[in-house]
Chains A and B, each alone.
Chain A
Amino acid sequence: EVVLTQSPATLSLSPGERATLSCRASQIVSSYFAWYQQKPGQAPRLLIYDASKRATGIPARFSGSWSGTDFTLTISSLEPEDFAVYYCQQRSNSPWTFGQGTKVEIK
């Protein structure tokens, strides 16, 4: 099973700041990788797929990148609605797995 390790667990930032979230895979997953956003009491929402492609309707301030087994989600300038929990997920090797989440909170 591919283990995804997200860091940091919590990111405390102010609106307008840049957020950089990381996820490391325990083995090569190529670009078969996604990021989801989850707000309290809501279902997750797909943000990024294929490691770097924005899902439909996702603002351009969200971007994804990767190198080897390291994946990064960047939010260029945090908006109030971006404070949430973010999960990474791989779809290279079944079972599909998620990271444990990074909470982006208001500083």
Chain B
Amino acid sequence: QVQLQESGPGLVKPSGTLSLTCTVSGGSISSGNWWSWVRQPPGKGLEWIGEIYHSGSTNYNPSLKSRVTILVDKSNNHFSLKLTSVTAADTAVYYCARALAVGSRDWFDPWGQGTLVTVSS
């Protein structure tokens, strides 16, 4: 079955750029699903960041849109997240997830295990 794995630096300096990659295994990223990023600050709830279709179409959360770029790399079966001008408020566990087309909409399933990114000097 499809599995996702996040990778990238666990520490980013304030005002820097957070860069993460999500590698998809057990299935093709070109399979017709949206591929998403969701984050969770320590001890808090979930926030959807944005998503990308295999064609390259994107959909971002307006609260982060000015700082977010999500790209897809079909040849390597992965997609990526870049978040610029980070502050301590961006410290969170970052999850990648497939938005599975089932029923009437697309639902987050499965999720990667998550990776903690800390913004600190």
Contacts and interface: CB of A to CB of B under 8 A. Distances in A.
Contact of A91 (B95, B106, B110): B106
B53 to A, nearest CB: 13
Nearest to B63: A95
29 contacts: A1-B62, A32-B104, A36-B46, A36-B108, A43-B95, A43-B97, A43-B110, A43-B112, A43-B114, A45-B110, A45-B111, A46-B100, A46-B107, A46-B108, A49-B105, A49-B107, A50-B103, A55-B109, A91-B107, A95-B60, A95-B61, A96-B48, A97-B48, A98-B45, A98-B46, A98-B48, A99-B45, A100-B45, A101-B45
B102 interface: yes
Contacts of A95: 48, 60-63
Contacts of B110: 43, 45-46
B87 interface: no
A69 B51 CA distance: 26
Interface in A1-48: 1, 31-32, 34, 36, 42-46
A17 to B, nearest CB: 25
B59 interface: yes
Nearest to B106: A91
A57 B45 CA distance: 25
A50 B59 contact: no
B7 interface: no
Could you say which of B45, B47, B106, B110 has the most chain A C-beta atoms within 10 Å of its C-beta? B45
